[in-house]
Amino acid sequence: MKNDIYSTYRLQAPPQLNEIKTTVVCPATEKHIKKYQRQESFLVEETGADYQSITLPYIQKQSFSVQWVYNILEKKAEADRIVFEDPDPTVGFLLLPDFKWDQKQVDDLYLIAITLQRGIRSLRDLTQEHLPLLQTIFQKGKEAILQRYQLPASKLRVYLHYQPSYYHLHVHFTKLGYEAPGCGVERAHLLADVIQNLQSDPEYYKTRTLYFPLRVDDGLLSKYKEAGRL
């Protein structure tokens, strides 16, 4: 049966505990197959120099298209899904529900704040000059979620991914207690921590060694292997 591929099954039997976990996804697309097939990941250690010599050239060469993000920012797509908007060209952003969230209940609330400012690829591009932008997203994002969904800041996990899925700065807002994919410490960076780190060291994300998982089929992993870094 086709769907068997997408069900994961785990059986643990420690002395006094039997635990069964299952996930069934039906129907499933090719993307789901890829997501749910056991894909091995490796933790990569990226120094500031590695970013310049390995990661950045890879990102630039791939020229991952973020045209779909620009379509959202220009209201050519998903305009009806916008939950909140700050139109300021420097510190402004759009807040939208993530596609993983069906918006039927706040238990798995998941929204994304996308900066209007273009050209900020990721955490690595952030310096002290972006503090007003980050603080605006943090404050106004939390306020908008309180107003729209009656969910206070104390119920939210607000973070960035590194590496991100796409190289246009965006921030994740998920409900605390909901184990959102990618909220693990190996990939997520609390926005509150990012702000504090930049306040105390403007070069924090330029100079720090950052750690992140890459799947075996990720082209960037090959680059790290070629460089003898794995």
Catalytic site positions: 170
Task: Measure Cα distances from 117 to 133, 194, 206, 215 in Å.
Answer: 9, 18, 19, 29
Q: Which helix (H) or strand (E) holds 202?
A: none
- Report in angstroms how near the CB of residue 89 gets to a second copy at its nearest: 30
Interface of this chain with a second copy, residues 49 to 108, rule: CB under 8 A? 99-100, 102, 104, 108
Cα(first)–Cα(last) distance of the chain, in Å?
38
When asked if residue 42 is in the footprint of a second copy (CB under 8 A), the reply is yes
Contact indicator for 173, 113 with CB cutoff of 8 Å: yes
- Report in angstroms how near the CB of residue 82 gets to a second copy at its nearest: 19
**How many residues contact a second copy, by CB under 8 A?**
55
When asked if residue 19 is in the footprint of a second copy (CB under 8 A), the reply is yes
Q: CA 120, 151, 183, 100: dihedral to nearest 10 degrees?
A: -80
When asked if residue 192 is in the footprint of a second copy (CB under 8 A), the reply is yes
When asked if residue 213 is in the footprint of a second copy (CB under 8 A), the reply is yes
- Exactly one of 22, 67, 150, 165 binds a second copy (CB under 8 A); which one? 22
> Which amino acid is residue 88, in one-letter code?
D
Cβ-in-10-Å burial (0-12, 13-18, 19+) of 16 comes to exposed
When asked if residue 25 is in the footprint of a second copy (CB under 8 A), the reply is yes
Residue 41 pairs in a beta bridge with 215
The Cα diameter of the chain in Å comes to 59
Structure token pair of residue 164: 């991100």
When asked if residue 208 is in the footprint of a second copy (CB under 8 A), the reply is yes
Q: Which stretch binds a second copy (CB under 8 A): 55-63, 131-139, 143-151, 154-162?
A: 154-162
When asked if residue 153 is in the footprint of a second copy (CB under 8 A), the reply is yes
- Exactly one of 1, 2, 4, 27 binds a second copy (CB under 8 A); which one? 27
> To which residue do tokens 């997408």 refer?
6
When asked if residue 170 is in the footprint of a second copy (CB under 8 A), the reply is no
Closest residue by Cα to residue 134 from 211, 210, 199: 199
When asked if residue 156 is in the footprint of a second copy (CB under 8 A), the reply is yes
Q: Which helix (H) or strand (E) holds 122?
A: none
- Exactly one of 2, 13, 74, 228 binds a second copy (CB under 8 A); which one? 13
Interaction site with a second copy (CB under 8 A): 12-27, 29, 32, 40-45, 99-100, 102, 104, 108, 153-157, 159, 176-177, 179, 183-186, 188-190, 192-193, 196, 200-201, 208-209, 211, 213, 230
